Structure 1
Amino acid sequence: MKIAVSGKGGVGKTTLSAFLARWFASQGKSVLAIDADPDANLGHALGVRDAGELVPISQMKQLIAERTESVPGSFGGFFKMNPQVDDLPEKVAVPCGNGIRLMVMGGVKKGGTGCVCPESVLLKNLVHHLILRRDEVVVMDMEAGIEHLGRGTSRAVNALIVVVEPGRRSIETALKVEQLAKDIGIDNLYVVGNKIRSDRDAAFLQDQLPGYRFLGFVPYDEAIIEADLAGTVAEDVGEKTRAALTAIAENLKEQQQPS
């Protein structure tokens, strides 16, 4: 199964991504967790020691230069558009224990849009390989957009999950992600409501996103908020939170079963 998790910053994408990675690993699956949000901390959420010291692939200048046959730090010029990436999961992924490995993509922060540079070419080719060629569960913690995905990989994405919280900005981000998904042909879009304080919050999200497929709702949990602020693992979540996350994972798996 190939899963991408998106949504506005701070809505709980990383918490859900980490939980899904752990849940599928507990089912005996080999899991590759991908931190594809330049501002995320999936490594912390998975309990990786010194996760903040991990160098993102987008900053591995020598590796990028070797694979794309480009000059480190240069702009323009010629470089390979189809660099070798099939060995990178084994070379750069960090073991997290319990059948999970972590790869930190990083971002390409340059002016303008549609950047075609050695870093972006390497990352997109890598994502293409991870989604189309790897025989394991891949969970990608994305930024608010779906920059790393493209038309070549869209058909192989089993689920694009948008995490939302009760609020207009979160709703607007979900609508933008839906449009981006349609543009590249992703049909399997689901929604998870997070930070739900009451039935009224859940009803608000369902009312604002009519026709969307909700996998479930996660209650507001101080343990998750505090862990997110501290950059640590949210181990002491409440029973209702854990039950809600488990139900979401099971619902997702059920949605992917052949009818």
Structure 2
Amino acid sequence: MRAAFVGKGGSGKTTLSALFARHLAHSGAPLVAIDGDINQHLAQALGLGDDEPFTAPPLSTRLGEIKDHLRGDNPRITSREAMIKTTPPGRGSRLLRLCGDDPVHTPHIQEVRGVPLMVTGEFDESDLGVACYHSKLGAVELYLNHLVDGPGEYVVVDMTAGADAFASGLFTRFDLTFLVAEPTRKSVSVYRQYRDHAEEFGIPIAVVGNKVTGEDDLLFLKEHVGDDLLTSFQHSSWVRAQEQGRAQGDLEPHNQHALRTLRAALDARTKDWTAFQEHAVAFHLRNAAAWADRATGSDLAAQVDPGFRHGPAALEPASA
């Protein structure tokens, strides 16, 4: 199952992404965490020390190699240059199993405090004025398009801030999106933006309150978010201590309970591979018509394989 954490900048989505990933890892669940935020801080939130380098290469730096592997011998995809971030898999494409021994997982994962982590890479000086951060997220979108995850397996993605996540079809690649909201008007306004966009495409979201300090904060969230409020995290002295490099003891019981609530909500989702593929095709055709046909000089609608059925059934030797 796949979970995205989104929200206003500074709402704490990276912190909650890390807490949830660690919660899953400590339970023994297979998972991959992905830092898809323009500010690459998930490794530190997971506990990577200032003197511990993250040495796995960012996904965005090896996008060509990733494309070559994923397109396999799919005759509809003629080259890596013709493969864009929304290109859906078809017969002949290579599909992925979570944490498999393949050129996508093996070189790009580094374990941080028991959590396998992949990163998209920072937005650096060479990108200024010539690229947007969503170009780096293309590798994540291709990864999720080609991943066949099973029951009890998890992908946790720390996404870009605010409704900016809707600038790509990536937002349709998740089983549940956790929108982290502080008890403030600004944070609630981001929730409303995201809710309206999500409803348009039938994307399930659940609001997670954060930095709740008392009953007034909780009542504020309930008033403005209503039934979308799944649970809330109270101010955590344990998290603050970890951020200061002096973590000790355990996360507070009420916050541990909130993590269990997140997992229960995610586990309750039913994987709909048909809808997943339909969304992939729809956003690919949108991108092809808007810019990609011109950019590649190809009719990218021809990449859609109408005979392909995504999901575990597609993991046959001929397409694996």
TM-score (norm 1): 0.74
| Cα distance in 1, alignment partners of residues 230 and 56 from structure 2 | 32
| Cα distance in 1, alignment partners of residues 14 and 263 from structure 2 | 18
Report the alpha carbon displacement of residue 20 of structure 1 after superposing the two structures with TM. 1.5
1:215-230, aligned counterparts within 5 Å?
215-225=230-240, 227-228=242-243, 230=244
Report the alpha carbon displacement of residue 168 of structure 1 after superposing the two structures with TM. 1.1
| Cα distance in 1, alignment partners of residues 131 and 197 from structure 2 | 14
Report the alpha carbon displacement of residue 199 of structure 1 after superposing the two structures with TM. 1.0
| Cα distance in 2, alignment partners of residues 115 and 11 from structure 1 | 20
Asked if 1:56 is matched to 2:58, the reply is yes
- The 3 A distance-change label for structure 1 pair 166 and 65 is same
| Cα distance in 2, alignment partners of residues 247 and 115 from structure 1 | 32
Q: Secondary structure at the match of 1:125?
A: helix
Q: CA RMSD in A?
A: 3.5
- The 3 A distance-change label for structure 1 pair 45 and 65 is same
Residue among 240, 243, 252 paired with 2:265: 252
Q: Would the aligned equivalents of 1:216 and 1:247 in 2 still touch at CA under 8 Å?
A: no
Per the alignment, residue 79 of structure 1 pairs with: 81
Report the alpha carbon displacement of residue 203 of structure 1 after superposing the two structures with TM. 0.6
Report the alpha carbon displacement of residue 79 of structure 1 after superposing the two structures with TM. 2.0
- The 3 A distance-change label for structure 1 pair 115 and 139 is closer
Tell me the amino acid that sits aligned with residue 174 of structure 1: Y
Per the alignment, residue 215 of structure 2 pairs with: 199
| Cα distance in 1, alignment partners of residues 3 and 53 from structure 2 | 22
Query: How many equivalent pairs are there?
Result: 237
Per the alignment, residue 121 of structure 2 pairs with: 106
| Cα distance in 2, alignment partners of residues 112 and 184 from structure 1 | 30
Per the alignment, residue 169 of structure 2 pairs with: 150
Report the alpha carbon displacement of residue 110 of structure 1 after superposing the two structures with TM. 6.1
Q: Secondary structure at the match of 1:210?
A: helix
Q: Secondary structure at the match of 1:102?
A: strand
Residue among 184, 189, 192 paired with 1:172: 189
Per the alignment, residue 252 of structure 2 pairs with: 239
Per the alignment, residue 128 of structure 1 pairs with: 145
Per the alignment, residue 5 of structure 1 pairs with: 5
| Cα distance in 2, alignment partners of residues 164 and 183 from structure 1 | 21
| Cα distance in 2, alignment partners of residues 209 and 180 from structure 1 | 15
Q: Secondary structure at the match of 1:209?
A: helix
Runs of 4+ in structure 1 over 4 Å off: 51-55, 65-69, 82-86, 107-117, 232-238
Q: Secondary structure at the match of 1:157?
A: coil
Report the alpha carbon displacement of residue 114 of structure 1 after superposing the two structures with TM. 8.3
Residue among 82, 90, 105 paired with 2:106: 90
Q: Secondary structure at the match of 2:118?
A: strand
- The 3 A distance-change label for structure 1 pair 116 and 85 is farther
Per the alignment, residue 141 of structure 1 pairs with: 158
Per the alignment, residue 75 of structure 2 pairs with: none
Cα deviation 1:207-243 (Å, max 9, x = unaligned): 011241x221111124424544x4x585556534443
Q: Secondary structure at the match of 1:171?
A: helix
Tell me the amino acid that sits aligned with residue 258 of structure 2: L
TM-score (norm 2): 0.62
- 237-246 or 14-23, larger mean C-alpha shift: 237-246
- The 3 A distance-change label for structure 1 pair 238 and 256 is same
- The 3 A distance-change label for structure 1 pair 247 and 200 is farther
Q: Secondary structure at the match of 2:165?
A: coil
Q: Secondary structure at the match of 1:146?
A: helix
Q: Would the aligned equivalents of 1:23 and 1:249 in 2 still touch at CA under 8 Å?
A: no
Report the alpha carbon displacement of residue 22 of structure 1 after superposing the two structures with TM. 1.9
Per the alignment, residue 75 of structure 1 pairs with: none
Q: Would the aligned equivalents of 2:40 and 2:122 in 1 still touch at CA under 8 Å?
A: no
**Looking at CA atoms only, which structure, 1 or 2, has the larger radius of gyration?**
2
- The 3 A distance-change label for structure 1 pair 183 and 220 is same
Tell me the amino acid that sits aligned with residue 226 of structure 2: P
Cα deviation 1:4-44 (Å, max 9, x = unaligned): 11111221212211121122223331110011111141111
Identity rate, percent:
26
Tell me the amino acid that sits aligned with residue 265 of structure 2: L
| Cα distance in 1, alignment partners of residues 145 and 12 from structure 2 | 25
Per the alignment, residue 288 of structure 2 pairs with: none
- The 3 A distance-change label for structure 1 pair 243 and 137 is closer
- The 3 A distance-change label for structure 1 pair 247 and 127 is closer
Report the alpha carbon displacement of residue 138 of structure 1 after superposing the two structures with TM. 0.3
- The 3 A distance-change label for structure 1 pair 245 and 26 is same
